[in-house]
Amino acid sequence: MEALFFNVSSGFLEGIVRGYKAGILTQNQYSNLTQCETLDDFRMQLSATDYGNFLANEPSPLSTSTISDKATQILVDQFNFIRSNAVEPLSTFLDYITYAYMIDNVILLITGTLHERDTHELLERCHPLGSFDTMPALCVATNVEELYRTVLVETPLAPYFRDCVTASDLDDLNIEIIRNTVYKAYLEDFDRYCSTLGSTTYDVMHRILAFEADRRTINITINSFGTDLNKEARAKLYPTIGRLFPEGNNNLARADDIEQVRLVCDNIGEYKSFFDTSAPSRNGNGHDDLLGDDGDLSVAAQLEDHFFRMEVHLNKLSFLQQFQYAVFYSYFKLKEQEIRSLTWIAECIAQDARDRIQDFIPIF
């Protein structure tokens, strides 16, 4: 009876996700949004989609941050609905999705504690998908030692911090190293957990997590150039999964410049185009680098654009397989990209940057 309930419940929830997928914006809806002259027009066009009147009570002039925040809240509400109706092992799988956001939230609070900022104020900046019942307890800590002990006791991230970080590591110089170290442990653990969920789920999720591992490895390498992080310490931050592992990781650990990174990535067919500087970059990430002095984007921004596009491609593939859990992960990742695209279009409208308004990343 329990197995029957699990099959019915998980199938029911998968049906909900596939139904939500139908609510992802189409190319025609994006086209209508890009033709808006003002953010009030943008609000009206969005009301004709599955987003509905979620901005109806927001006063004019509408801000892009409000659009992003309200759209994110819809995503969080959908996630919480599915999580509250899930049974094992789906409930644990959904918990793993939230751990990535928890890591960013905890690192934000650690940074705030180091700088003696009001951590209660920082709570408002934390991503809602990364919240947990005991997160306010982190704000009680008055120094990093207390915060470290609280993290180990009060958060689901305790195993990652306990195995990777000590209290003495918590300082400004190490904060990004800590983030990458903890995220490395999380990715490897998530991949191991997915291997217990059946071959179909593991095949899909392993491909997605392997790409995420490679993305982090490439970014760590590039961001370490010109810093005090030595090559041995850099190598320890690389996840031990991914298509670059192990040979590519070893070569990236010895890289001294972007060209050497490119040569390593050339060995992975899907990654070769990431370093093609001949094609114009399209940055649909919704970041603040919308309008530079000359409109040019850095190599890092171009890479980020390619990473987002590859992420969309891999997550769309999840929906080609039935009776597996990866669709839950992929749906929320695709909706996140949709929110980034909406924010990008809205920012272009607000800044009257019509020449850049098409540079978003559509889903379908």
Residue-wise pLDDT tens digits, 244-284: 999 999 999 999 999 999 999 999 999 998 987 655 555 55
Overall number of domains in the chain: 3
Instruction: Specify whether 261 is located in the same domain as 172.
Output: no
Which tokens in the block code for residue 44?
A: 């009206």
Would you say residue 129 lies in a domain? yes
Instruction: Specify whether 183 is located in the same domain as 250.
Output: no
Pick from 139, 155, 189: which residue ends a domain? Answer: 189
Please give the full DSSP string across 310-332, using - where no structure is assigned: HHHHHHHHGGGS-S-THHHHHHH
Instruction: Specify whether 106 is located in the same domain as 177.
Output: yes
Instruction: Specify whether 61 is located in the same domain as 135.
Output: no
Closest CA to 287 of 215, 343, 222: 343
CA distance between the termini of the chain: 39
Predicted TM-score (pTM) of the model is 0.90
Would you say residue 221 lies in a domain? yes
Share of the chain above pLDDT 90, in %: 66
Q: Which stretch of DSSP H or E encloses residue 245?
A: none
Q: What is the DSSP letter of 273?
A: G
Distance separating alpha carbons of residues 313 and 271, to the nearest angstrom: 13
By residue range, what is the domain housing residue 252? 197-275
Would you say residue 316 lies in a domain? no
Instruction: Specify whether 245 is located in the same domain as 261.
Output: yes
Instruction: Specify whether 148 is located in the same domain as 165.
Output: yes
pLDDT-wise least confident of 1-10, 293-302, 305-314: 1-10
Distance separating alpha carbons of residues 358 and 323, to the nearest angstrom: 36
Query: Mean pLDDT, to the nearest integer, of 172-188?
Result: 91
Instruction: Specify whether 263 is located in the same domain as 203.
Output: yes
Distance separating alpha carbons of residues 121 and 193, to the nearest angstrom: 35
Instruction: Specify whether 166 is located in the same domain as 218.
Output: no
Distance separating alpha carbons of residues 148 and 155, to the nearest angstrom: 11
Pick from 168, 189, 210: which residue ends a domain? Answer: 189
pLDDT, greater one: 5 or 58: 58
* Residue 89: strand, helix, or coil: coil
Closest CA to 39 of 28, 47, 50: 47
Pick from 189, 208, 235: which residue ends a domain? Answer: 189
Instruction: Specify whether 268 is located in the same domain as 286.
Output: no
pLDDT digits (tens, 9 = 90+) for 30-44: 999 999 999 999 999
Instruction: Specify whether 84 is located in the same domain as 155.
Output: no
Instruction: Specify whether 180 is located in the same domain as 203.
Output: no
Confidence of residue 136 (pLDDT cuts 50, 70, 90): confident
- pLDDT for res 285: 57
Would you say residue 312 lies in a domain? no
Whether the per-residue pLDDT at 20 is higher than 80: the answer is no
